[in-house]
Structures are given as structure tokens and as C-alpha cells.
Amino acid sequence: MFEFLGQKTDRLGREILGGLGMAKVKRFRAPGLDEAYRSEIVRESSDKMFRSVENWLCVFQRPRVRIEVENVSAFANAAIAANVRQLFLVIFGSITQDACQRLRDTLAAQDIALVCLAGSLARSLAMDFGKLAKSKNSDGEPHFAFGRLREHARKKFEESPWHKYFQTASIQPARILPLQRERDATLAEADLVRALQGGSVLLLGEPGARKTTSLLALARDLSAVGPLTPVFVPLGRYNGDFWKTLGEALSPGAESVAEPLARELVESGGLVLLLDGINEVQQPDLHAKLVSELNELTAPDQRTANSRWIVSGRVHDYQQAHHQLVHLERRRWEMQPFTAD
């Protein structure tokens, strides 16, 4: 499966990071790691009002055998020693679910988030961004294209009727106020990037507040640089099966991603799911089913909560609905009106 990794694996890691927009990295050495880099990503809003810094440790590991629970301490120790808040772990091999969960729990106790791509997902990264891997997809396994999805996110924003104004204006509609949760109390204002750093988000706003354009702009920015891959999901297309709707959004212009692979992607922690317009699901039974599905998927004890979620909707419609997003309610933010102030 990974026969190409015997040649210049350090170059493969750098090629993957380059494909993710992370060309400027510093080599990091720690016991038990095959290849690791430290990266700092600075994100700034177009009006220069908001600035966020992400510190990542990016590890590329080639285990000879499957990684078990007793083997994950080296990754946790390295992330702690590197003084980062995000660990991007790419395993060209396999890791047990228990081992991955142990690592995630250990890191969470240190306020470090984990993105773990192993097996076919690691190979997909190599296929998308590694020059030596371009012609090695011959075993018939599904190949999810990170590169295609990220490029689609950039093009989707450019196709938005407001994109030019959004790019150049100093008054972009991306200022949001925390309405709940004590941890956010010190943030009088933030942009979506800053809000997302605290966890998944329920984003509400009045009609015309530029919720959709703001989500598309966030998708563009995330796809340009960083390990997190955004996926924009228009909820108006929801037909009673969330995994089908997500599978189509994960593979624009190609065959829909099947539920098992979509679940693996979400559980990896590597996605930012941008679910736009819950108010557009107006049929009562359909709306109730969607809310029920999202409540299950975003429950803190579910592996699907490893990725970050943003669900947008209209303030009035959400408040009048009979069914609420109980977990996202904890981090409910409101888009401020689009003004010239």
C-alpha cells in the first residue's frame, strides 16, 4: 500500500505540507518520531481587526506494525514539548481506535487538539501532494481527494457575488458576539476563525447578514493554509440522510463519498464542516430529523465531534423552531448586522 514511501520520505512530508500551504516549517526532533515539523499559522481578518495564531506540530510516521495504546505516548510527549495547541499526525500505516482515542484524551487534557490521518487517508494526502505517489493508486481502494475539495472551496468563494467586495472591504461581516459559554466571556467580538478555536459553533444572523459569504470566505482561508480541510454543505439539499448530503459535498464533481469513508474523515478531526442554512430545511418532519442527526453527531462523547462544526441559520427561524441543536447551543454566536461602522 505504501511501497513508494521508501524513497525520500522526508521530502514526501514536506511536499504534503507544501500542498497544504505550509511551506515554511521548522524540523522538530523528538524520541520515537520518524519525521516532524513545527509550523506557525497566522490568520488575520481583512480589516486587520482580528488576528489568530495556530501552532502546529506535524508528524509523519511509518510504523512497521499497527500502533497500539502503549505506543502513543511519544506523540503526546512531543506535542507537549513542542508547546503547540494542535497536533497533525499522519500515519502511513494503521492505528487502533483505542490508541487514537487514548492519544486524543491525553492531548485534550493539555488543551491540544488532534488531527489523525492514517491508512487510506494518509495515502490520499500522499496521492494529492506527494510527487512520488502520483502514479501509485492501483489497489482499488477509495481515494478521497483532499486537494480537489480544498480547490473547490477556493473556487466556491470566487463564484460568490460578494467575493470581491468581501476581499477588499475593511468592514467585512465577520464580527460575531458570544451569547453563551463562560469560556468565551472575555471575547467581546471575534471573527469566525477565533470563534472556531474554542470549538464547534452555532452561528445565527438576520437575513442579509452575509452568513453564507462569511462561511465561504472561511472555507477559502482554511483551504489555503493549514491541515484542516473545510467542507461547505448547503443544508437546502438535505433530503433526510445527512451522510448522503455530506458525501456529495465531500466529492464535488465526482462520485459521492460513501458513509464509512465520510465517517472516517469526520472522526479524524481533520474537517471543518460548514453547514449553511438550517432554516432552509422547512418541512417540519425533515427539520426534526436533521436536528436529531446533528445532535447525535456533535455530542461530545461521539467521535464525530472530533472535527469542528459550524451550523448557520436565521435568528428568528431558529428561535421559533421546536427542535434545538442542544450541543452547539453552548457556543451560540450571532453575526452582527452588515453596516459601514
pLDDT in tens, 217-265: 899 999 999 999 999 999 999 999 999 999 999 998 888 999 999 999 9
Cα 87 to Cα 74: distance, rounded to the nearest angstrom: 12
Q: Is there a contact between 155 and 46 (Cβ–Cβ < 8 Å)?
A: no
Question: Model pTM?
Answer: 0.89
Q: Report in angstroms the alpha-carbon separations of 273 from 50, 53, 297, 304.
A: 22, 21, 12, 11
At the top level of CATH, which class does the domain 148-335 belong to? alpha beta
Q: Which has more pLDDT, 338 or 76?
A: 76
pLDDT tens-digit readout, 33-83: 999 999 999 998 777 778 889 999 999 999 999 999 999 999 999 999 999
Say what angle helices 211-224 and 146-158 make with each other, to 10 degrees: 140
pLDDT tens-digit readout, 308-326: 999 999 988 888 888 899 9
pLDDT tens-digit readout, 282-305: 999 999 999 999 999 999 999 999
At the top level of CATH, which class does the domain 3-140 belong to? alpha beta
Position 289 scores a pLDDT of 96
Assign 3-class secondary structure to 47-69: CCCCEEEEEEEEEEECCCCCECH
Position 158 scores a pLDDT of 80
| Structural domain spans, the chain | 3-140, 148-335
The two domains 3-140 and 148-335 share their CATH topology (first three levels equal): no
Other residues' Cβ atoms within 10 Å of the Cβ of residue 109? 9
Show the cell assigned to 194. Answer: 477565533
Position 182 scores a pLDDT of 41
Show the cell assigned to 213. Answer: 459569504
**pLDDT band per the 50, 70, 90 thresholds, residue 9:** low
